[in-house]
Amino acid sequence: MRATVDGNASVTNGEPSAAAAWLAPLILAILVIDAFITLALEVLYLPTYFGSTGFPLSGVLAGPVNILLVLGARSVSQRTAAMFLPLAAWTFGFLVCASTGPGGDIMLASDWRTVLLLFCGLVPPLVYIYIRVNSGLFSRR
């Protein structure tokens, strides 16, 4: 028998090694935690100003950061559900930040910057996942 190596984990005789079996869920858990951390930083820096003009740079950077999180999940697992894990954590955190706390405080204001953060944080990674899942449809033409 010949040992083969998969692109994502070392495989011997068709079975994943013990290290790859526990390392993939650990990396996915770290990516989910990283999604919460990046959202916290994006919400924190969303109301930044240059002079007297609002400049939500963190809202624009949310898209590339979330695409990198999805790419990280894809490098561990080829399953579509695994690619959605960091994005689902980011969305859950966004909804928590948009709701009122026990004292009535809201972390995200109801203005265009919040909409920009939501749009830029979700649309680019969802488009990437859509293209990745349906890549066979695009190449047949």
The DSSP string of 71-113 is HHHHHH---HHHHHHHHHHHHHHHHHHHS--TTS--SS-SSHH
Domain membership of residue 22 (yes or no) is: no
133 pLDDT higher than 70: yes
Rg of the Cα atoms in the chain: 19
pLDDT in tens, 20-54: 678 889 999 999 999 999 999 999 999 888 888 88
Altogether, the residues listed in the chain come to a count of 141
What is the rounded distance in angstroms from the CA atom of residue 20 to the CA atom of residue 13? 14
Domain membership of residue 13 (yes or no) is: no
Domain membership of residue 15 (yes or no) is: no
Domain of residue 46: give its range: 30-139
Domain membership of residue 5 (yes or no) is: no
Domain membership of residue 112 (yes or no) is: yes
Residue tagged 């989910």 (tokens): 32
What is the rounded distance in angstroms from the CA atom of residue 130 to the CA atom of residue 84? 11
CA distances from 136 to 77, 130, 132, 139, 140 (A): 18, 11, 9, 5, 6
Domain membership of residue 125 (yes or no) is: yes
Domain membership of residue 23 (yes or no) is: no
- Beta carbons within 8 Å of 91's beta carbon, 6+ residues apart: 122
Residue 124: pLDDT band with limits 50, 70, 90: very high
Domain membership of residue 86 (yes or no) is: yes
- If one counts the domains in the chain, the total is 1
Residue 87: pLDDT band with limits 50, 70, 90: very high
65 pLDDT higher than 70: yes
In sequence order, the β-bridge partners of residue 12 are 15
Six-digit token string for 99: 């709701």
Q: What is the pTM of this model?
A: 0.80
DSSP helix/strand/coil, 54: strand
Least confident residue range of 69-73, 74-78, 125-129: 74-78
What is the rounded distance in angstroms from the CA atom of residue 69 to the CA atom of residue 40? 15
